[in-house]
């Protein structure tokens, strides 16, 4: 509707020091001619909007203008609570967050607008860990809707071993941890949102005995305090000592003065093998013998997998 577009135009100009007609047209998804007509209509209505010519010109509002448009919608409030642009986008709230920021910046005048511009220019929050892109979560907006409405969810879920499960859960909330979205349920349990293949929001209300922060804290402690009683001693080549310390920080239990010998703690033999095999010949397990034997078995399995391939000379 044109009224919504005119309001959006005023909000954009309140949140910025100015914008060109092509920029506004792209943001509002209309033609430049439509933007110019809207500017003329606002001017006739008494809004102090004007156009500056020249290289640094554009369409502007008088900085003293306040349109009384700072009231935020429910979606905008949720977007602000999420805060981070990429996470808000995955929830389907990217536009709401942008509009909320524009409203607040516009209402605050030049100082607040300058602060927002500086934040965008010089501070970037990247929620993804190194060497791993964000996961596809197309069902996240639907799941979020069910969570907010307090409804039970029917899920088609694949666990870490790709085993399929049909489950009905009482959702408590959603958590974004290191770029990964998790659904926290009342059981309590953590379900990785990227592994949910389908979701149906049921009509009956969910049962929740605890709030999200309390439930998440318990689940996080359960993961972080998992016993790592298997002590493993390795020797490390100098070139990879920094990488070993960085990637195995949670397992590190001590090291020799020269850094060559490192002591680690794992939850079991499979955990140790999965963590150490990736280092290849750059680390060697000194003890216990069970981990050495398991690494030999894993390495032989890799050799067997590729040994039947016919290698052809170029």
Does residue 67 sit in helix, strand or coil?
coil
Residues 239 and 302 both lie in one domain = yes
Residues 26 and 57 both lie in one domain = yes
Does residue 177 sit in helix, strand or coil?
strand
Residues 272 and 175 both lie in one domain = no
- The Cα–Cα gap between 285 and 231 comes to 11
Q: Establish if 31 belongs to a structural domain.
A: yes
Query: If you ran DSSP here, which 8-state letter would residue 134 be given?
Result: P
pLDDT tens digits along 231-272: 999 999 999 999 999 999 889 999 999 889 999 999 889 999
Overall domain count for the chain: 3
Element (H, E) at 165: strand 164-169
Residues 200 and 274 both lie in one domain = no
Residues 272 and 180 both lie in one domain = no
Residues 192 and 240 both lie in one domain = no
What domain range is 234 assigned to?
230-307
Q: What is the CATH number of the domain that holds 164?
A: 2.30.30
Q: Establish if 168 belongs to a structural domain.
A: yes
Q: Establish if 128 belongs to a structural domain.
A: no
Q: Establish if 25 belongs to a structural domain.
A: yes
- What's the burial of 276, exposed, middle or buried (CB within 10 Å: 0-12/13-18/19+)? buried
- The Cα–Cα gap between 311 and 92 comes to 50
Q: What is the CATH number of the domain that holds 75?
A: 1.10.10.10
Q: Establish if 133 belongs to a structural domain.
A: no
Q: Establish if 118 belongs to a structural domain.
A: yes
The answer, as to whether pTM is greater than 0.85, is: no
pLDDT tens digits along 9-45: 888 887 777 889 999 999 888 999 999 999 998 888 8
Residues 22 and 39 both lie in one domain = yes
% the chain with pLDDT above 70: 93
pLDDT at residue number 313: 46
Q: Which of 96, 122, 148 is the last residue of a domain?
A: 122
Peptide bond into 188 cis (omega under 30): yes
What lies within 8 Å, CB to CB, of 239 at 6+ separation is 282
Q: For 57, phi and psi rounded to 5 degrees? A: -80, -165
- The Cα–Cα gap between 252 and 244 comes to 9
């Amino acid at each position: 509707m044109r009224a919504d577009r005119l309001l959006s135009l005023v909000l954009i100009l309140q949140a910025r020091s100015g914008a060109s007609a092509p920029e506004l047209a792209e943001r509002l998804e209309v033609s430049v001619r439509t933007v110019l007509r809207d500017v003329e209509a606002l001017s006739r209505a008494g809004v102090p909007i004007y156009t500056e010519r020249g290289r640094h010109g554009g369409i502007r509002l008088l900085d003293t203008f306040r349109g009384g448009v700072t009231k935020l919608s429910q979606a905008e409030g949720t977007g602000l609570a999420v805060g981070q642009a990429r996470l808000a986008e995955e929830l389907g709230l990217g536009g709401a967050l942008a509009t909320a920021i524009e409203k607040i910046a516009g209402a605050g005048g030049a100082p607040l607008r300058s602060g927002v511009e500086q934040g965008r220019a010089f501070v970037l929050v990247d929620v993804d860990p190194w060497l791993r892109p964000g996961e596809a979560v197309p069902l996240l907006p639907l799941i979020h809707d069910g969570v907010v409405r307090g409804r039970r969810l029917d899920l088609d879920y694949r666990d870490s071993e790709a085993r399929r499960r049909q489950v009905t859960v009482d959702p408590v909330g959603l958590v974004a941890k290191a770029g990964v979205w998790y659904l926290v349920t009342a059981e309590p349990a953590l379900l990785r949102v990227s592994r949910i293949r389908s979701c149906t929001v049921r009509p009956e209300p969910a049962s929740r005995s605890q709030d999200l922060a309390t439930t998440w804290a318990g689940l996080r402690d359960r993961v972080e305090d998992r016993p790592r009683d298997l002590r493993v001693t390795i020797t490390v080549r100098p070139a990879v000592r920094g990488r070993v310390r960085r990637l195995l920080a949670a397992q590190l239990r001590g090291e020799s003065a020269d850094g060559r010998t490192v002591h680690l703690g794992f939850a079991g033999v499979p955990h140790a093998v999965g963590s150490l095999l990736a280092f290849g010949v750059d680390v060697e397990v000194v003890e216990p013998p069970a981990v050495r034997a398991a690494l030999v078995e894993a390495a032989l399995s890799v050799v067997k997998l590729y040994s039947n391939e016919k290698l052809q000379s170029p």
